[in-house]
Amino acid sequence: MSHWLFDLGNSRLKFAHLREDGSLGEVVALDHGDRDLVAALETALPSRGELAAASACLASVASPALTAGVVDALTTRFACISLARTQSAMAGVRIAYAAPERLGVDRFLALLAAHARARHAWLVVGVGTAVTIDLLAADGQHRGGRIGPSPRLMRDALHRAAVQLPASGGDYLEFATDTADALASGCEGAAAGLIERSLQQARTQLGETPALLLHGGGAAALQSLLPESVMASALVLEGLALWARAGIRA
């Protein structure tokens, strides 16, 4: 049976085919918001005939209504659909939350993928609608994390509160001499500062500096401010592949 992986966030849907060797095929990303995501997904997927004997694994942190719409669309294409859920322990990772189901499944899957990449300490940072930060020790113990607004969300909030402030544009400068640049510098700098403080505190807690792993649609904009970082654009799908393979073996 062929297997496909779907990562539904608050801003984008990403999906890829899971190859027999466990690697990901081409990753397709669909932005959603004003567009009809279900229609876009149906256009982007192979034909019903090609997927008739295939299975789909979905990880979603989107609204129940949007999730249900995507599930309905997948039901018309795939023979079997499974929904990924956060678990207290899996693939060598142990979640710090007393109620693991309260940890977003995207964060859980990103931790699985980070631990599978290398058995050393990681600071895993997702940049999407929010900035999520999770500390993972080398032994797979999740030490907890933070959630803050992303630069894009900060810009949107400032624009809604004061419409004369542009919602986009500008370049990062340490001390800007233009409003658009100042906004970009302040919002991107706030996110980078949160990540840098998290690295400092992680070093104190672990006695070592964790490797910094960035993922998510907004991660590229912050990478230049965090030159020690590693980019993993499809990290959640990597973790979903691990989750799917565990289910396949079971």
Catalytic (active site) residue 36: no
Q: Which of 21, 31, 34, 106 is catalytic?
A: 106
Burial of 1 (0-12, 13-18, 19+ CB in 10 A): exposed
Spatial CB neighbours of 173, under 8 Å, sequence gap ≥ 6: 181, 185
Burial of 2 (0-12, 13-18, 19+ CB in 10 A): middle
**Strand partners of residue 54:** 2
Spatial CB neighbours of 36, under 8 Å, sequence gap ≥ 6: none
Task: For the chain, state the CA radius of gyration.
Answer: 19
The residues assigned a catalytic role are: 106
